[in-house]
A and B are shown apart, each in its own frame.
Chain A
Amino acid sequence: MPTKVIDVPKTDPGAYNPGRAAGALLQAQAAHMREALRKRLQEFITLVEVDLTSFKTEADVSAYIHKATALLHTYHGRPKDE
């Protein structure tokens, strides 16, 4: 017995409407996205405003480099060989 195939009707032509007013869900999504960016921005600011003279040891510096590298990778993507 062949597998039953059910054809799905095409979506009505003209359904596409990117000019539709954004509803509460999309507005909330944008607000949440902005909050996520704000938190990420704060991470950058914290690392940018660090007092480099406070680093005394290789461990101090490498801890900073670690955080900076990880943050930059989240923005620019990870190296291809990783």
Chain B
Amino acid sequence: MSQGQQQLKHLVVLMMENRSFDHMLGGLSLEMENGKKKYPAICGLTGEEWNPDTKGNRIKIQAGAKFQSQLDPDPDHHFPGVDLQLYNEAPQGPGRTANMMGFVKDYFSQTKDVGRSHNIMYYFRPADLPVLTTLATEYALFNGWFSAIPGPTICNRAFAHYGTSFGQVGMDIFYILDRTILSIYERLLHAGKTAKIYYYDQASSTMEIVNLLNNQPQIFGTFDQFVGDCQKNALPDYCFIEPCYSDHPGPDGGEVLASDQHPDHNVREGERFIARVYNAIRTNPDLWPNTALLIVYDEHGGIFDHVPPPACAPDGYVASAETTETGAPFVFDRLGVRVPAILVSPWIPRGTVVPGAEDPVNGRIFEHASIPATATEFFLNGDAKRTPREEKASTFLHLLTDTMRADDDCVVFGNLD
């Protein structure tokens, strides 16, 4: 175990909403410095990626992403829609290969406008996202972190809490079909550890409702409490932060903006939220050396990414053809679309890039089951009943090295008041 792992006391996970890797970070691969690629190890965009539109035109990726008002209506990211995005109407059956060519077609099915359907191919210039791109290049960026299911939010977030969605591929309420598979919070609490979910406020609340909110109210707190717990050195061993999911009036009559970055919520507000989470840890010298922060997105939100999702260990459940709405059952044997994922710690060398599927020798694949897998391995020595999927999921704390970076070598974000 490295020095960084030995020092580690707290693992914090911030899960944002509905943006793909290429959309948010793919532009880093196009940055040049002295005539060379500035970030050659990042598996982002080449500038040549394209999708056909419904008129048969080749629509190349473009640096035209906007903070808001561009992805409205909300791009489809339910199971059949993602199936179209990945396979571009290839018939169901053996040997089917994802070619990532159906994103524009799928968005046209919602916009009914050929021009607007091209918006799904837009990516952010790195300078537009100073928080995410800074953290991605200052700490560890995963080239191969995929959403757990080629589907929407609820089932993907379930993997982060339970290491499975218990067969669910949609937005319906999911129930725990195997009571021996506990959430990561229950596993930790039963072992005498501490764990919490911090939702933004009561008007935004949590997406883990029926199971945990109903049965485990003690594990919840608000974002203000997270900030306070950071200041008081009272952070639990493990915690999961949920951004604000809606624009709503604040308790004092002020304006509370959604910070989840779910289309069509303002991406810049999400940037500010990520910065606030980072600063809460970074600016406490008693917390910073012994805390690791994972920033990850739940799924791609229907937005283009060029890397085909790889196969994965089945988790023992089967979603019927009726529930997948694709005409075929799903056995949870492949992942969803790639999403941004960044691990932050002063024990991580600047510019660390974790290779993914692009590196067949050293690459490793991560997904949301990697979250409870890592927490279970680190805090409980792996002692918990888990699904086969979680047991096989890659863990990530090996990225913490023996060398801690100097305090003045780690950035701080300003202008957040």
A-to-B contact residues, CB < 8 Å: 1-12, 15-18, 20, 22-26, 28-29, 31-33, 35-36, 39-40, 74
Contacts and interface: CB of A to CB of B under 8 A. Distances in A.
A52 to B, nearest CB: 27
A6 B173 contact: no
Contacts of A1: 408-409
A24 B74 CA distance: 9
B210 A35 contact: yes
B342 to A, nearest CB: 15
Contact of A8 (B210, B245, B409, B416): B416
A18 B250 CA distance: 11
B411 A4 contact: yes
Contacts of A16: 247, 255, 257
B413 A24 contact: no
Which 4 residue pairs are nearest across A and B when measured between Cβ atoms?
Answer: A32-B209, A7-B415, A28-B171, A15-B266
B410 interface: yes
Contacts of A8: 130-131, 271-272, 275, 413-416
Contact of A12 (B205, B268, B275, B412): B268
B362 interface: no
Interface in B181-223: 205, 207, 209-210, 213-214, 217
Nearest to B78: A24
A78 to B, nearest CB: 10
A70 to B, nearest CB: 11
A25 B244 CA distance: 12
Contacts of A29: 205, 207, 209, 245
Contacts of B268: 9-12, 15
B408 A2 contact: yes
A36 B214 CA distance: 6
B154 interface: yes
A12 B264 CA distance: 14
B414 A7 contact: yes
Nearest to B172: A28
Contacts of A24: 74, 78, 152, 171
A23 to B, nearest CB: 5
B248 interface: yes
9 contacts: A1-B409, A7-B415, A8-B130, A8-B414, A10-B415, A33-B205, A39-B214, A40-B214, A74-B217
Contacts of B68: 12, 15
Contacts of A31: 173
Given A6-B130, A16-B257, A23-B74, 8 more contacts: A1-B409, A7-B130, A11-B67, A23-B262, A28-B153, A28-B154, A32-B154, A40-B214
Contacts of A2: 408
Nearest to A40: B214
Contacts of B248: 18
Contacts of B31: none
B413 A5 contact: yes
Contacts of A15: 67-68, 257, 266, 268-269
A2 B74 CA distance: 43
B224 interface: no
Nearest to A24: B171
B245 A9 contact: no
Nearest to B76: A24
B186 to A, nearest CB: 17
Contacts of A33: 205, 209
A40 B334 CA distance: 36
Contacts of B171: 24-25, 28
A16 B410 CA distance: 32
A18 B264 CA distance: 12
B412 A5 contact: yes
B246 interface: yes
Nearest to B74: A23
B134 interface: yes
Contacts of B262: 23, 25
A3 B257 contact: no
A7 to B, nearest CB: 4
